[in-house]
Structure 1
Amino acid sequence: MLALGLALNTLGIGLFCWLIFALAVYALPFFVAVTVGMLAFRDGAGVFGALLIGIASGALTLAAGQLTLAVSQSLTLRVAIATVFAVPAAIAGYHVVFALSQIGVPSLAWREAFACIGALCIGGTAWARLTVLARTRPSDSAGVVENTPRPVLTGATHER
């Protein structure tokens, strides 16, 4: 029974970590959805209305960010959008890893170290998943300078 408990605990923590990495891109839209939903509820929209407004604002945030990232040709704008999405993911990753490390790490210094490493990994994952959308389009040359081979000119040219 002890082995089964350890195996299921490891499987559960592994599944939870996979879920955190898979959902890292959605941290900013989730934060926006919760904030706007809470504001709508406070202003009298009701539970159902606040839920709908929150979901719509989160979906709009995600769609606008990904569309702007995919369409933009400015590297500065792409970096800014990826950073705006990666920072909340890193903050969420820090807190998740810090909470999970409390299970088996007694030292506060090691928990902080693990949480910082987790924040970097999860923020980097969000950054990488967002930049996948920013691949160069077929009309772009992908930064490659085309050097077409030119015929070699010799000292003597023959014309006939």
Structure 2
Amino acid sequence: MIILGILLSIAAIGFFCWLLFTLAVFALPLFVGVSAGNWAYHTGAGWLGAVLVGLSAAGLTLGLGQVVLMTIRPLWARLLIALTFVAPAVFAGYHATHGILKHTMPSETWQTAFSVIGAIAVGVTAFTRVAGMAGTDRSNPNLARA
């Protein structure tokens, strides 16, 4: 029974790490959706209106980000848009890692050091996923063959 508990704990930790890395890309749309829903609720839209406004704002943010990444040509502009999506993911990764490490490490210095490492890992993962959302440029014949 003890071995089963250990294996289930390892599986749960792995699941939550996978969930963190998967949802890191959606940190900006989530933030925009929650903010818009909160605004709608406080202006008198009620719960249903706030949920609809929040979901619409989050979907619009994600869709607009993907469309802009696919249509803008300059690399520096694409990088700025990708960093706009990655910055909240890094912030969320830092705090998620720090929240886990507070329970496992007594030293605050090591907590901060490993939290920064976790934030960098989440940021790099989010950047590669956001860059993957941009797709390839089909108008360039050299890229279309690849």
Summarize the alignment of residues 1-160 of structure 1 with structure 2, pairs less than 5 Å apart: 1-141=1-141
Cα shift at 1:133: 2.8
Gaps of 5+ in 1: 144-160
Using the alignment, how far apart are the partners of 1:7 and 1:48 within structure 2? 41
- TM-score w.r.t. structure 2 length? 0.93
Using the alignment, how far apart are the partners of 1:20 and 1:138 within structure 2? 32
Indicate conservation of the 8 Å contact 1:90/1:122, yes or no: yes
Identify the residue that residue 151 of structure 1 maps to in structure 2. Answer: none
What is the letter of the counterpart of residue 112 of structure 2? E
Using the alignment, how far apart are the partners of 1:17 and 1:87 within structure 2? 19
Using the alignment, how far apart are the partners of 2:38 and 2:132 within structure 1? 32
- Greater Rg over alpha carbons, structure: 1
User: Following superposition, which runs of at least 4 residues in structure 1 exceed 4 angstroms of deviation?
Assistant: none
Using the alignment, how far apart are the partners of 1:103 and 1:11 within structure 2? 18
Gaps of 5+ in 2: none
State the number of aligned residues.
Answer: 143
**SS of residue matched to 1:23:** helix
Q: Percent identity?
A: 43
- TM-score w.r.t. structure 1 length? 0.85
What is the letter of the counterpart of residue 84 of structure 1? T
What is the letter of the counterpart of residue 9 of structure 1? S
Indicate conservation of the 8 Å contact 1:136/1:142, yes or no: no
Using the alignment, how far apart are the partners of 2:128 and 2:93 within structure 1? 15
Using the alignment, how far apart are the partners of 2:139 and 2:40 within structure 1? 43
Indicate conservation of the 8 Å contact 1:27/1:92, yes or no: yes
